[in-house]
Structure 1
Amino acid sequence: MEIFNNDKTYDFMGKKVPFLAISGILIVASIVLLLTRGLNYGIDFVGGTVVQVKYEQEAPIDKIREVLKGTSYENSTVTEFGTKEEVTIRFTGSSSDITNDVSDVMNKILVPTGDFEIRKIDMVGAKVGAELRTKGVMALTMALLAMLIYIAIRFEWRFAVASIIGLIHDVIITLGLISLFKIDVNLDMIAAILTLVGYTINDTIVVNDRIRETLQTTKEQNLDLLINDSVSRTLSRTVLTSFSTLFVVVTMLIFGGEIIYAFSFTLFVGIIIGTYSSIFIVSPFIKFLGFNTDAYRSKEAQKEANKKEKAKLRAMYEQGRV
């Protein structure tokens, strides 16, 4: 199935300046949001307790806040959870007294608010939260380094650096939107970002592979034309793959509920941004980094000559002529 005409070459490189300007504005805006508003870390990373409560009727959020005043939980955050009958009560710090069951205390405090059931209590200590946050950052950093090494070996170092620039572009803008919409940052979100790293780099590798193939099968010297042709040939595949994935993600976003909302939201915005960057952002940086078609073809020709020479020497060795 083709969305775009494969016989037509679109001038992506000719439009690189406005698209890079748009990305620059989005990155600056995202950094400003991250520096001013920051990220809304969930209990996975800062430590604390989340109590999930389900009422038989619509949850009286104002009443819950009122009865919590004057208790050790008066600074809790009470928010609707998925439906109007369910709420979450969040407070920093976990119970330091293991004999003091949070469930029992909450059951007593919330008696005036109506008929309810405490469905779940999650606790994470501050030390564990800090450790999880550090490991999450390490996992993301290691993923980026692994991608850098892989692409540098498979293609050429300029392809690798351009691809990592694209990934950093995607991650920063995604985090900026997460900050803007005050989405809780938890382990599920880290998993979503790592998933995006793999997803978007796959799109980038497809384009890079096409550029390499075009370099090997044509004698075209103009890098802009080579990139335009390669991106145009893979455009239908890229867009179809993204739309197919987005269909599933949107379904999760709408029907998955609050439990996977952060995960679904991160995937949703990340796939859109990742598809955009693989088409409009990564390829221009290959040129900006000084990629030379003649030098690349000479290097590949030398590799092929060395490969044939090794094969010749091995054949001579096996025949006893060396």
Structure 2
Amino acid sequence: MNYNTKIRYDIIRNKNKFLYFSLALTIVGILSLIIFHLNLGVDFKAGTNMDISVSKSATQTEVNDVLAAEGYAKATPTVGGSGNERISIRFDEVLDNDQKNKVLDAFKAKYGDDLTSEVNIVSPDIARELGVKTIWAILIASVGIMLYVMIRFEWRFALAANISILYDSFIVIAIFSIFRLEVDLPFIAAVLTTLGYSINDKIVIFDRIRENLRFAQLKTDDQLVELVNASIWQTMARNIYTVLTVVIVTLSIFLLGSSSIKLFSLALLIGLISGAYSTICIASPLWLMLKRGQKQKGKAAGKTAS
């Protein structure tokens, strides 16, 4: 059958390269999570997060010295802002009012009384509850997406799509684990947003595969491979342009936005790129493998009946 499209690269016949690469990346991510775990922020780990704005430029060394003098050498400070006037400090312990005031007084003595602060405290119970709710949120979103695709298409499309979007979410988590980037509530929002954009890409290609299946008379495996390849290339431009539009915006936010949303935009950027990759190189080949399994069972049943 002539699909009136130019196949520039045979993605399906080279699917093993992509699947092995994805498997290797998944194994590295699993090992990183086992060995290093996630660098949990104060949202998921009991502790105190203190944001301080001072009236003059601060340096990392000065902040470290102030904290060490107050007995908080293990705290994790970050200096940012356009003029290095914003100081964010993460304490692993829950500070009481006296401890909090002691730290603020130390910074007032160093940088002057013109100081503003915001303190967020998360107790162990709240941190545990947030962690459990996060896991449930991702699971419910995944199941909901799988049911939607199953109703609109069929279970093979649903299974291939769900494996792919879970891969996208895992890649974001794995990269944050490997590079020890902080995981907080905006990170979870980025992962859930990734699920939405990723399934959108997959629906576009699956819809084209289903449409081509209606008019195709498939007699050989090569014809099925050709159909999937053609469907991928027929939707390639649309998928790339859609993802590229969002990537440009996200990259701009990451490069020009404030430090408070940098990790959110980075997680979203990783998820968008992974989603575009998995749509083409994982979801479609997985559906083909499942479809082949159905045809082989059908042939085996026919031979048994005869």
Bin for the TM-score computed over the shorter chain: 0.7 to 0.9
Say whether 1:280 aligns with 2:278. Answer: no
Say whether 1:162 aligns with 2:160. Answer: yes
Tell me, yes or no, if the aligned pair for 2:70 and 2:103 is still in contact at 8 Å: no
Which residue in the other structure is 2:258 paired with?
Answer: 257
Deviation at 1:291, TM superposition (A): 4.5
Tell me, yes or no, if the aligned pair for 1:38 and 1:179 is still in contact at 8 Å: yes
> Using the alignment, how far apart are the partners of 1:255 and 1:19 within structure 2?
33
Which residue in the other structure is 1:175 paired with?
Answer: 173
Match of 2:13, SS state, is: helix
Which residue in the other structure is 1:315 paired with?
Answer: none
> Using the alignment, how far apart are the partners of 2:34 and 2:163 within structure 1?
21
Tell me, yes or no, if the aligned pair for 2:26 and 2:171 is still in contact at 8 Å: yes
Deviation at 1:71, TM superposition (A): 3.4
Instruction: Report the AA paired with residue 257 of structure 2.
Output: G
Identity %: 32
| Aligned structure 1 segments of 4 or more residues deviating by more than 3 angstroms | 70-74, 290-295
Tell me, yes or no, if the aligned pair for 2:161 and 2:202 is still in contact at 8 Å: yes
Q: How does 1:50-89 map to 2 (within 5 A)?
A: 50-69=49-68, 71=70, 73-83=72-82, 84-89=84-89
Tell me, yes or no, if the aligned pair for 1:39 and 1:182 is still in contact at 8 Å: yes
Once the two structures are superposed, what CA deviation does each residue of 1:25-60 show, in whole Å capped at 9, x if it has no partner?
211111111111211111111121111122333213
Tell me, yes or no, if the aligned pair for 2:5 and 2:230 is still in contact at 8 Å: no
Once the two structures are superposed, what CA deviation does each residue of 1:199-230 show, in whole Å capped at 9, x if it has no partner?
10110011111110000122234221111111
Tell me, yes or no, if the aligned pair for 2:108 and 2:115 is still in contact at 8 Å: no
Which residue in the other structure is 2:304 paired with?
Answer: none
Which residue in the other structure is 1:303 paired with?
Answer: none
Deviation at 1:139, TM superposition (A): 0.2
Tell me, yes or no, if the aligned pair for 1:48 and 1:125 is still in contact at 8 Å: yes
Say whether 1:25 aligns with 2:24. Answer: yes
Tell me, yes or no, if the aligned pair for 2:40 and 2:183 is still in contact at 8 Å: yes
Tell me, yes or no, if the aligned pair for 1:31 and 1:172 is still in contact at 8 Å: no
Tell me, yes or no, if the aligned pair for 1:50 and 1:88 is still in contact at 8 Å: yes
Deviation at 1:284, TM superposition (A): 1.1
Task: Pick which of 86-95 and 44-53 moved more.
Answer: 86-95
Which residue in the other structure is 2:303 paired with?
Answer: none
Match of 1:58, SS state, is: coil
Once the two structures are superposed, what CA deviation does each residue of 1:152-203 show, in whole Å capped at 9, x if it has no partner?
1211111111111111211221111111222211111111101110110110
Which residue in the other structure is 1:223 paired with?
Answer: 224
Instruction: Report the AA paired with residue 186 of structure 1.
Output: D
Tell me, yes or no, if the aligned pair for 2:47 and 2:121 is still in contact at 8 Å: yes
Query: Which runs of 5 or more residues in structure 2 are unaligned?
Result: 297-306
Query: Which runs of 5 or more residues in structure 1 are unaligned?
Result: 1-5, 296-322
Which residue in the other structure is 1:300 paired with?
Answer: none
Say whether 1:131 aligns with 2:129. Answer: yes
Match of 1:56, SS state, is: coil
Deviation at 1:288, TM superposition (A): 2.0
Once the two structures are superposed, what CA deviation does each residue of 1:110-152 show, in whole Å capped at 9, x if it has no partner?
2442236233222221211110111011000111111111111
Match of 1:281, SS state, is: helix
Q: CA RMSD in A?
A: 2.2
* TM-score normalized with structure 2 length: 0.87
> Using the alignment, how far apart are the partners of 2:199 and 2:152 within structure 1?
13
> Using the alignment, how far apart are the partners of 2:274 and 2:157 within structure 1?
19
> Using the alignment, how far apart are the partners of 1:120 and 1:212 within structure 2?
54
Instruction: Report the AA paired with residue 63 of structure 1.
Output: E
Aligned match for 2:107, one of 110, 114, 117: 110
Which residue in the other structure is 1:94 paired with?
Answer: 94
Once the two structures are superposed, what CA deviation does each residue of 1:237-257 show, in whole Å capped at 9, x if it has no partner?
000001101011011101221
Deviation at 1:290, TM superposition (A): 3.7
Once the two structures are superposed, what CA deviation does each residue of 1:273-300 show, in whole Å capped at 9, x if it has no partner?
11000011111111222447879xxxxx
Instruction: Report the AA paired with residue 233 of structure 1.
Output: Q
Aligned residue pairs total: 288
Say whether 1:189 aligns with 2:190. Answer: no
